[in-house]
Chains A and B, each alone.
Chain A
Amino acid sequence: MLGAAALAGSSSGLAQATPSWPPEASARPAAESRIPEIVISAARDQAITAKVVEALRDDPHVYAEHVTVVTENGVVRLQGIAFDVGDMQRMLYLARRASGSRRIVNEIELLVDVEDHD
Chain B
Amino acid sequence: MFSTRLQRPLVAALAALLVVLCYSTESAAQSPDQDARMRALQQQLDELNREIKAIKEETTKTSKAVSTSEKKFDSFMKGFFGTLDASIDYTTKGMNGMVAYPYTCTGPLGGPPCTAVTGSPKAAPFGRVGWMAAMSSNGSNIGYRGTHQIGMSNVDFIYQVSTAFSVNSAPGLQDTWTKSSNTVQGAIGLGDTFIGLQNHDWGRLRFGELYMPYKTSTDRLNPFAGQLGNYNVIVSNTGGDNRVEFGTRMDHAITYTSPNWSGFTFDLAYALGQNPDPSNNIAPEGSPDCSGANSPGSGNLFLNCDDGGFNNAYGGDLKFEMSSLYLVAAYELHQNVNRSSDGVGANNPIYGYYVGLGNGVSPLLDWADYNAYFNEYPTAAVAGSPEYSTAYDLANEWAMKFGGQYRFDFGLTVSVLYEDMHRDLPAIMEFQNERQRSSDWVSIDYQFPNGSDRVAAGWAHATATVGDPGGQHNFNPNGIGDNEANMYTLAWWHKLDKQLTFYMDVADTANDGNAHFDIGAGGHGIKTDCHDATHPLFIDYSSAGPTTWGGCHELGISTGLNFKF
Contacts and interface: CB of A to CB of B under 8 A. Distances in A.
A117 B565 CA distance: 24
B521 A111 contact: no
Contacts of B497: 60-61
Interface in A85-104: 85-90, 92-93, 96, 103-104
Given A60-B498, A61-B495, A85-B220, A115 B451 contact: no
B452 to A, nearest CB: 5
Interface in B285-323: 293, 321-323
Contacts of A116: 242-244, 248, 293, 521-523
Nearest to B185: A117
Interface string B415-457: 0000000000000000000000000000001010011101000
Nearest to B500: A63
Interface residues of B, number: 64
Contacts of B323: 96, 103-104
A113 B83 contact: yes
A89 B408 CA distance: 11
Interface in B13-72: none
B460 to A, nearest CB: 15
The binding surface of chain B is classed by DSSP as loop
B139 A114 contact: yes
B164 A115 contact: yes
A107 B258 CA distance: 11
Given A92-B407, A113-B83, A114-B523, A86 B498 contact: no
Contact of A114 (B145, B407, B411, B522): B522
A32 interface: no
B83 A85 contact: no
B144 to A, nearest CB: 12
Contacts of B454: 86
A115 B521 CA distance: 10
B521 to A, nearest CB: 7
B191 A112 contact: no
Contacts of B252: none
Interface in A45-83: 59-63, 65-66, 81, 83
24 contacts: A59-B498, A60-B498, A61-B450, A61-B451, A61-B495, A61-B497, A63-B498, A65-B78, A66-B78, A84-B225, A86-B447, A89-B407, A93-B411, A104-B323, A105-B260, A113-B141, A113-B523, A114-B215, A114-B225, A115-B139, A115-B164, A116-B243, A116-B523, A118-B179
